[in-house]
Amino acid sequence: MQLYLGLVLVFFILAFGIKNIKTYLSTGVSIRGRSSKLTASILLSTIIYILIFLRLIFLEPSWIMEIHPVGYEIFRIIGFAFVTIGFFLGIFSLISMKNSWRIGIKYEQKTALVTSGVYRISRNPYFFSYDLLILGYIFIFPSLVLVVLYVPLVIVFHKMILEEEKYLETVHGEVYLNYKRRVNRYLSLM
């Protein structure tokens, strides 16, 4: 289980990095926007990832204030499912984006609106995958420290999504508004 959880996290981070490099090399332009929200999300994510890696390596729960509630085993099972679903959703999101992938908003660049693949069930599947993945690790390693870091990360992601929605409405107009009416922000199952 520890090896699986470590490999998932490593491959999730590697996939993100490889996607960034591949998109940059194929487009020849910077793909990273600049904003305080983006900086905060990178900082919070990095701290969370480091803490999860340290927990996986040292197997010592006390330093991250880990608690084990009654029925803890069911939390671990749910967490394992969230980690797995989050991982695959993230990978499929990266694949579906093709060269439209950006980190943050690049206001000077207009990219194609992606509505296929996993973007048929979520307007923000990569953010959602990130949320699920980290929440899964929190269910497996129920830690007060991780929760305290996770909550602001989810809030920052949500604010980034709201900002991106305004941008996409401006750039893609009615096409985006129609897409927005059809597909939920996080998950559409019907």
User: What pLDDT does residue 160 have?
Assistant: 95
Cα separation, 73 vs 139, in Å, equals 10
The closest of 95, 79, 5 to 49, measured between CA atoms, is 5
Q: Provide the residue ranges of all domains of the chain, joining segments of one domain with +.
A: 2-182
User: What pLDDT does residue 63 have?
Assistant: 63
Q: What is the pLDDT of residues 131-161, one digit of tens each?
A: 999 999 999 998 889 999 999 999 999 999 9
Q: Burial, 119: exposed, middle or buried (Cβ in 10 Å; 0-12, 13-18, 19+)?
A: buried
The amino acid that residue 13 corresponds to is I
What is the model's pTM? 0.89
Distances (CA, A) of 149 to 39, 44, 152: 14, 7, 6
Res. 87: pLDDT tops 60: yes
Res. 184: pLDDT tops 60: yes
Instruction: Return the H-helix or E-strand segment holding 94.
Output: helix 72-97
Q: What is the pLDDT of residues 50-81, one digit of tens each?
A: 999 988 888 666 666 777 777 789 999 999 99
Q: Domain spanning 2-182 has what CATH number?
A: 1.20.120.1630
Tally of CB atoms within 10 A around 57: 10
User: What pLDDT does residue 61 have?
Assistant: 66
